[in-house]
Amino acid sequence: MTNDQSTTDGSGIGKYFLSKNLKKDIPASIVVFLVALPLCLGIALASGAPLFSGILSGIIGGIVVASFSGSQLSVSGPAAGLTVIVLTAITDLGSFNVFLLAVMIAGLLQILLGILKAGTIGNYFPNSVIIGMLAAIGIILILKQLPHAVGYDADYEGDYEFNQADNENTFSALISAFSKFSGGAVIISAISIAILIIWPKIKKLAIVPAPLIVVVVGILLAEIFKDSYLNLNAQQLVQIPVVESFTDFKGLFIFPDFSAISNPKLWTVAVTIAIVASLETLLSLEAVDKIDPIKRVSPTNRELIAQGIGNTIAGLVGALPMTAVIVRSSANVNSGGRTKVSAILHGLFLMISVLLIPILINKIPLACLAAILLLVGYKLAKLSLFKKMWKDGKDQFIPFSVTILAVVFTDLLIGVGIGLTVGIVFLLRTNLRNPYFYTVDRSEGKHTIRIKLAQEVSFLNKGAIQYMLTHIPKDNKVIIDGTQSLFIDKDVLDTINDFYNHAHTKDIQVELINIHPKYELPKLKELDLKTNETV
């Protein structure tokens, strides 16, 4: 974590209870809760798992993971990117109980990855790809929530991939939605969007979060529309299980089947979940850090350990596997969340809602929740973002655009993989241009070409240096100066030495200055400083 003394008056745990933080965290937690509730349910449906397992995953992600995490704004819960893996795994393993054992093992593997410092892999994703992922999620949110906004909720299953399980795709589902819209849902979503836009602009009213007003107005309108042609059917309302007794509550929990520990398929699923969930978490964490107004940097290894603890508990009590999720995290940021208290409170609200007010929650129209997500999507994919990336040059704009298209038309991981591949191509092109400085001295009879190597010359620079050396004209003098170089990769050294040993065949005189036979990677010195997380 980086220090930012201008943003806090306290240190340690006390900073989470500062009034200036709580007055932002509490409203933000309500927004995140309202966003998380339908997503938890939808992802559980899409995964072929009990509905409560999705809610339970959100509760654990909020209360447990956020407590152990070093990130102040990231929110964890069931992830849409894992739905296909979960659905396939439950089918292949034969039961949800066996699948839960795989989730528990995956959590333990994530803890091990965190201990082994594997969290740094997220630092090697280009900014253009991460920003493209955020924009793509915004576009997907808009496309996937439009059916709910117009009242067509037949596909309410949390499927955030382009090709859906019902043999439709994102665009065909939109066409179906607009041909079968519900007047009541359209009115509710339109009013909800208007409230979300106008309400925060009225200073005297902005103290109450706009999404909360949207939910209240949505419930009231749904009640008013009853017994009229605008009436909403059960599919157009939130649906969670109603707990009427402690026995009912205990019955919601499902436990892992430890007898399947020797099943090879179990371990394959566990490793798959651990890797995919860790990668999604690191990508989301990087993305959230970029939209953090205070620009804090989250400790990635600690996050893997926190996620591992969450998934271990999830497997033990019957919850879906979880990751840090960008939709809820971005909703947290956009709603003014300041510390991890927001994520913890959203988990508490999920638990309270299931226990105390399930009947009231089941009166919330999906149309008003869709309106909230439509605004979140818009903020992630603003037109101004596209203009900015265009101005930054094609090295940024092309990977950014490819990532968006790939994520929208495939899924999150495949799309990011494609975007990363394109980003690496442009990175290599950039590296081809900057491993050395090239000057030519024409004061003597022969041209003297002085090549000053950069501070760090990696194997990625080998091609550029090799190309340059092989195209030096005959009968010239070449000086290769490594004075400024702290590290030169062995492949590059071999290229330089080959040129030195064979240059005479082209009547080229070569002089090497401060080129050592071997270079060791500079060791990072550990700072003996006690740093406090600040907010």
- For residues 343 and 349, give the distance between their C-alpha atoms in angstroms, rounded to a whole number: 10
Residue 522 has pLDDT above 90, yes or no: no
Task: Kindly tell me the burial class for residue 488, based on how many C-beta atoms sit within 10 Å of its own C-beta (0-12, 13-18, 19 or more).
Answer: buried
331-349 per-position pLDDT tens digit: 899 888 899 999 999 999 9
Q: 205-209, 279-283, 315-319, 386-390 — which is least confidently predicted?
A: 205-209
State mean pLDDT over 390-400.
Answer: 89
Give the position of tokens 């818009």: 378
Q: 193-197, 224-228, 246-250, 436-440 — which is least confidently predicted?
A: 436-440
Residue 144 has pLDDT above 60, yes or no: yes
- For residues 481 and 512, give the distance between their C-alpha atoms in angstroms, rounded to a whole number: 6
| Residue 198: half-sphere exposure toward Cβ, Cα within 13 Å | 8
Interstrand relation of 436-441 and 448-453 (parallel, antiparallel or unpaired): antiparallel
- For residues 399 and 404, give the distance between their C-alpha atoms in angstroms, rounded to a whole number: 9
Q: pLDDT averaged over the chain?
A: 82
Count of other CB atoms within 10 angstroms of residue 474: 9
- For residues 199 and 256, give the distance between their C-alpha atoms in angstroms, rounded to a whole number: 47
Residue 304 has pLDDT above 90, yes or no: yes
347-378 per-position pLDDT tens digit: 999 999 888 888 888 888 888 888 887 887 88
- For residues 215 and 363, give the distance between their C-alpha atoms in angstroms, rounded to a whole number: 10
Local structure of residue 154 (DSSP, 8 states) = T
Per-residue pLDDT band for 159 (boundaries 50, 70, 90) equals very low
User: pLDDT at position 158, please?
Assistant: 42
User: pLDDT at position 113, please?
Assistant: 93
| Residue 88: half-sphere exposure toward Cβ, Cα within 13 Å | 12
Residue 99 has pLDDT above 90, yes or no: yes
User: pLDDT at position 151, please?
Assistant: 77
Per-residue pLDDT band for 69 (boundaries 50, 70, 90) equals very high
Count of other CB atoms within 10 angstroms of residue 364: 22
Task: Kindly tell me the burial class for residue 11, based on how many C-beta atoms sit within 10 Å of its own C-beta (0-12, 13-18, 19 or more).
Answer: exposed
State mean pLDDT over 66-93.
Answer: 87
Per-residue pLDDT band for 297 (boundaries 50, 70, 90) equals confident
User: pLDDT at position 56, please?
Assistant: 94
Single pTM value for the model: 0.66
Task: Kindly tell me the burial class for residue 44, based on how many C-beta atoms sit within 10 Å of its own C-beta (0-12, 13-18, 19 or more).
Answer: buried
User: pLDDT at position 307, please?
Assistant: 96
Closest-CA residue to 359 (of 240, 522, 211, 535): 240
Coil, strand, or helix at residue 512? strand
Residue 535 has pLDDT above 60, yes or no: no
Could you tell me where the DSSP H helices lie in 81-201? Answer: 83-93, 96-115, 127-149, 170-179, 183-198
Local structure of residue 47 (DSSP, 8 states) = T
The CA-based angle 80-83-87, given to 5 degrees, is 170
Residue 266 has pLDDT above 50, yes or no: yes
217-255 per-position pLDDT tens digit: 999 999 999 888 888 888 788 777 777 777 777 777 899
Q: What is the DSSP string of 402-461?
A: HHHHHHHHS-HHHHHHHHHHHHHHHHHHHHTTSSEEEEEE-SSSS-EEEEEE-SEE-GGG
- Say what percent of the chain tops pLDDT 90: 26
User: pLDDT at position 235, please?
Assistant: 79
Give the domain ranges of the chain.
21-384, 436-513
User: pLDDT at position 153, please?
Assistant: 59
Hey, what amino acid is at 455?
Q
306-335 per-position pLDDT tens digit: 999 999 999 999 999 999 988 889 889 988
The CA-based angle 202-203-204, given to 5 degrees, is 95
Per-residue pLDDT band for 9 (boundaries 50, 70, 90) equals very low
- For residues 438 and 420, give the distance between their C-alpha atoms in angstroms, rounded to a whole number: 31
* Consecutive H or E run containing 479: strand 477-481
Per-residue pLDDT band for 534 (boundaries 50, 70, 90) equals very low
CB 378 within 8 A of CB 135: no
CB 139 within 8 A of CB 381: yes
Per-residue pLDDT band for 82 (boundaries 50, 70, 90) equals confident
CB 483 within 8 A of CB 512: no
- For residues 274 and 321, give the distance between their C-alpha atoms in angstroms, rounded to a whole number: 9
Per-residue pLDDT band for 527 (boundaries 50, 70, 90) equals very low
Q: What is the DSSP string of 243-304?
A: P-SHHHHHHT-----GGGTT-HHHHHHHHHHHHHHHHHHHHHHHHHHHH-TT-----HHHHH
User: pLDDT at position 302, please?
Assistant: 94
Count of other CB atoms within 10 angstroms of residue 481: 17
Interstrand relation of 448-453 and 322-324 (parallel, antiparallel or unpaired): unpaired
486-521 per-position pLDDT tens digit: 888 888 899 899 999 988 888 888 999 989 888 877
Q: What is the dihedral of CA 189, 192, 196, 201, to 10 degrees?
A: 130
Per-residue pLDDT band for 1 (boundaries 50, 70, 90) equals very low
User: pLDDT at position 167, please?
Assistant: 54
Q: 89-93, 427-431, 464-468 — which is least confidently predicted?
A: 427-431
* Assigned architecture for domain 436-513: 2-Layer Sandwich (3.30)
- Written as six digits, the tokens of 448 are 């003297």
- For residues 38 and 42, give the distance between their C-alpha atoms in angstroms, rounded to a whole number: 6
Residue 6 has pLDDT above 50, yes or no: no
